Amino acid sequence: MIAPYFYRDNELSVEEVTLADIAEKEDTPCYVYSSAAILSQYRAYDQAFGTAPHQVCFAVKANSNLSILRMLAKAGAGFDIVSGGELFRVLRAGGDPAKVVFSGVGKSREEVEYAITNGIHSFNCESEAELALINSIASRHSVFASVALRVNPNVDAKTHPYISTGLHDHKFGINIDVVKEVYDRAAALQHLRLTGVSCHIGSQLLDTNPLFEALDGVLTLVEKLRAAGHPITELDMGGGLGVAYSDQQTTPSVQTYIKLICEKTANLGLKLMVEPGRSIAAAAGVLVSRVMYRKTTANKEFVIVDAAMNDLIRPSLYQAHHEILPLRQRSLGTITADVVGPVCESGDYFARDRQMANVFPGDYVALMTAGAYGFVQASNYNSRPRACEVLVEGKQWRVIRQRETLEDLVQGE
């Protein structure tokens, strides 16, 4: 079983709620998140730093629902954003702009201006052209913008190619071998405070060795920059820790990872930042769906469910594995089947040749570990209204995003 979900009297449950109750009341497909699970992961990060000066910035792109951002903001979280839209969400949710870092290779003039006028903590900057833009906008507003250059350490994160970012072939960051010269030149830009170094080598890392390899490179750089007179006071190690999508995967411990960063940076007087997304939200969420049909062809068994790639694209996009569990456990044996959605694409599948519980039309299933990069990547493809989202808190649960209506589909056309 994948925590925090468990069977109680054969009913798949989270906290003190039975998922079938939610499915019956709110219909399917429906995302469900556990508030306790999200908060405990956030706190695991926050507390592992101990007394070291730090800020944990939740990566908003993993799950940007306002209620979840609000809950994390109240717990003290900062936020890592990659667009003006994400900043808008953070501000709406009551997040503190002074705890926001802005990442991404292609920030627009409007986005930089929006971030500067709202007083965000800093920019993770990825090119010299962007430095010049941030400087000119900061100058126009008579403020100083804090900047960390995002370093590309040329480390192979050994994860899926689409979520690997730390090699010189990737579009991300500035090559670690030339970045000192960029700091030197940028010192002439009078409205920037170049006080940070940042790094993010990829996502779903199940092995922390690449992260420490990157950290070692970055720490050598910090020394070199300080020796050259650059007042580096902050180090941002990005996100990337993986989660277990199946029982076979083992994941790095948040505590061990953060404690090692603290040890390796002790005595440097750096404020430490991290930007976890997946490792805070993924395991906390599931996508609940209903079995619509069973269909048998010459050599395949299909389970057709009412959720589809427009609701959860990870299997189609990254060949990702999600466990599929029945909401009610019954003794009906197992089947080997493809689990597919109604969208008109052969790539619309959740599992192929999966051995799973024998399920029938009307039964509910949960696609596990869907709390990160799930709803945020949902679309209206095939004119399917997006699913609702529900947040569980102890015995209570509430809808935190309504299911879209047919009218919502044509809004603005």
List, by residue number, the catalytic residues: 344
> 57 vs 327, which CB is nearer to ligand PLP?
57
> 58 vs 364, which CB is nearer to ligand PLP?
58
> 256 vs 396, which CB is nearer to ligand PLP?
256
Q: Which of residues 62, 182, 194, 237 is near ligand PLP by CB under 6 A?
A: 62
Angle (CA) 406-407-412 rounded to 5° is 125
* Residue 107 binds ligand PLP (CB under 6 A): no
| Burial degree of 321 (CB within 10 A; 0-12, 13-18, 19+) | middle
Contact 297, 290 (CB under 8 A): no
Strand 234-236 to 271-274 pairing: parallel
Site string for ligand PLP, 367-386 (x = CB under 6 A): -----x--------------
* Residue 203 binds ligand PLP (CB under 6 A): yes
Q: What is the DSSP string of 214-271?
A: HHHHHHHHHHHHHHTT----EEE----B---SSTT-----HHHHHHHHHHHHTTS-PE
Helix/strand/coil (H, E, C) string of 287-306? EEEEEEEEEECCCCEEEEEC
Q: Which of residues 12, 56, 61, 84 is near ligand PLP by CB under 6 A?
A: 61
Nearest to 150 by CA among 161, 138, 134: 134
Angle (CA) 129-233-212 rounded to 5° is 85
Tokens 């909401």 belong to 327
The SS3 call for residue 32 is: strand
Contact 135, 141 (CB under 8 A): no
Q: Which of residues 217, 238, 315, 374 is near ligand PLP by CB under 6 A?
A: 238
* Residue 121 binds ligand PLP (CB under 6 A): no
* Residue 103 binds ligand PLP (CB under 6 A): yes
Q: How far is the CB of 372 from ligand PLP (least distance, A)?
A: 6
Considering only residues 250 through 289, tell me which ones interact with ligand PLP, judged by CB under 6 A.
275-279
* Residue 59 binds ligand PLP (CB under 6 A): yes
Q: What is the DSSP string of 73-116?
A: HHTT-EEEESSHHHHHHHHHTT--GGGEEE--S---HHHHHHHH
Angle (CA) 173-83-349 rounded to 5° is 90
Tokens 């109750």 belong to 21
Q: How far is the CB of 256 from ligand PLP (least distance, A)?
A: 16
Q: How far is the CB of 357 from ligand PLP (least distance, A)?
A: 30
Q: How far is the CB of 198 from ligand PLP (least distance, A)?
A: 8
Listed ranges 20-28, 57-65, 313-321, 323-331: which one lies at the site for ligand PLP (CB under 6 A): 57-65
What token pair was written down for 51? 């007394």
Listed ranges 58-66, 311-319, 384-392, 395-403: which one lies at the site for ligand PLP (CB under 6 A): 58-66
Size of the site for ligand PLP (CB under 6 A): 16
Q: How far is the CB of 202 from ligand PLP (least distance, A)?
A: 7
Q: Which of residues 239, 326, 341, 374 is near ligand PLP by CB under 6 A?
A: 239
Q: Which of residues 54, 200, 314, 354 is near ligand PLP by CB under 6 A?
A: 200
Listed ranges 232-240, 263-271, 340-348, 386-394: which one lies at the site for ligand PLP (CB under 6 A): 232-240
* Residue 159 binds ligand PLP (CB under 6 A): no
Q: By Cβ distance, which residue is nearest to ligand PLP?
A: 239
> 133 vs 201, which CB is nearer to ligand PLP?
201
> 84 vs 239, which CB is nearer to ligand PLP?
239
Asked, as a colleague might, if the bond just before 4 is cis with ω within 30 of 0, I would say yes
Pairwise CA distance, residues 14 & 244, whole Å: 17
Q: Which residues contact 250 (CB under 8 A, 6 or more apart)?
A: 206, 244
Binding site for ligand PLP (CB under 6 A): 59, 61-62, 80, 103, 200, 203, 238-240, 275-279, 372
